Each structure stands twice: as structure tokens, then as C-alpha cells.
Amino acid sequence: MSTVIALSAIGRDRPGIVAGLTKVLFELGCNLEETSMTRLRNDFAMILLIAVPEGKNADDLRDAMRPVISEFGLTMDFRVLNDCEAKANAAAQDANYILSVYGIDKPGIVYTITKMCAEHNINITELGTQVSENQGQPLYALFLEVYIPEFVSIIEISEQLKKFGAQLSVDVSLEPLLQCGDF
């Protein structure tokens, strides 16, 4: 069985980072299982789950990445997943709702919403924020893909989100996420 490694990397954004990193993985015989990559202002951040073939380990991967780390000025971290984590079914808790928040930027928006999610066993599978300007005011957008377990009352969550929206003076919406075959 192959070893699964979680690799995270961040560095100044520039062309070639993904190609340089994935070339090393290809040459080692690794397989990308899941990835998330994004540019945040002038930085580029990546999180990858990598299946490393038998006979290779985290040290081999770390050694092979040294030239890429140096060339692109990346900060990189490696974590070997235990057997339970490596075998986990990623689809078991796929996002089933999209939670969106829009309004004038102010401290506490992300904390308030994510705290409420944690208190109700709502798992955040993806989170993104963006600040833009609207008539000289900073406009904040927060997007979350979340997994809401069946035992959680959607009505109760929706009502609590309305209260948070009023308290924070933002628009909050919770919508089911369309799955393949739903459209």
C-alpha cells in the first residue's frame, strides 16, 4: 500500500510553481489524490494529498522537493497520514450546502459564522473570503461550502443565521449545494 502525505506549500506567486512541484511528484511516481491551490494577493498557497508509491517515503519526497523549494522560495510542510486518515472516504462528508455572507467589512464576521458552525457540528469543507470596494466602503464576501449532518435542523440554523446577519448588518444565505444529477 502506498503512503499518503499531506503537503502544504506557500510562496510568492509566480508562473511555474505548480509545474515545478508536480514534475517532481510525477518523476517520483506519486499520484495527486486531492488538491486545493489558490493565489492570495501576492502569495500562492497549496495543500495536496499525495499517494507516494511503495519504496518511497516522506524523506524521499522532502529531498526531491529541495530544488523546487529553493527555486521558488517556498515554505513547505509534510505530514504522513495514518492508515485511518489515508483510507477515509473523502465523499463521506462532501459539502451539501453553500453559506454566503455579504456586507460592509468589519471584524468578527468569519469568527461569528464559523463558531456557529462548530457549535452545530457543521463541517466547513471550503472557505473563501474577498474584500472589494463599494462606493468607498469595504465590502466583504464570505463563501463557505459546508457539510450539515442530517440530525441538524436546517430551519434552526437558518434562523440563527438570520440573527447573526441582523447582528452583523450583513446578508446571509444558506442554499443546498447541487449535486451531480440534481440539474
Predicted confidence at residue 11, as pLDDT, reads 96
pLDDT higher than 80, residue 179: no
Q: What percent of the chain has pLDDT over 90?
A: 75
Rounded Cα distance, 48 and 73, in Å: 18
User: Nearest 5°: CA angle at 62, between 82 and 31?
Assistant: 60
Q: What is the model's pTM?
A: 0.74
Q: Give the range of the structural domain holding residue 130, as residue numbers without chain letter.
A: 91-176
**Higher-confidence residue: 92 or 35?**
35
pLDDT at 14 over 90: yes
Looking at residue 84, its pLDDT comes to 84
64 near 130, Cβ under 8 Å? no
Q: Number of structural domains, the chain?
A: 2
Read off the pLDDT of each residue in 42-58 and give the average, rounded to a whole number.
Answer: 93
Edge-to-edge order in the sheet of strand 170-176 = 123-134, 137-147, 97-104, 170-176
Q: Would the pLDDT of 181 be above 70? A: no
pLDDT in tens, 115-164: 999 999 999 989 999 999 888 888 999 999 999 998 999 999 999 999 99
Contact 83, 4 (CB under 8 A): no
Rg of the chain, C-alpha, whole Å? 20
Q: Are residues 106 and 58 in the same domain?
A: no
pLDDT above 80 for 100: yes
Do 78 and 104 have their domain in common? no
Tell me the mean pLDDT in the region 45-74: 94
**8 within domain boundaries:** yes
Task: Kindly state whether residues 25 and 44 are assigned to the same domain.
Answer: yes
Query: Which among 152, 150, 172 is positioned nearest to 161, based on CA atoms?
Result: 172
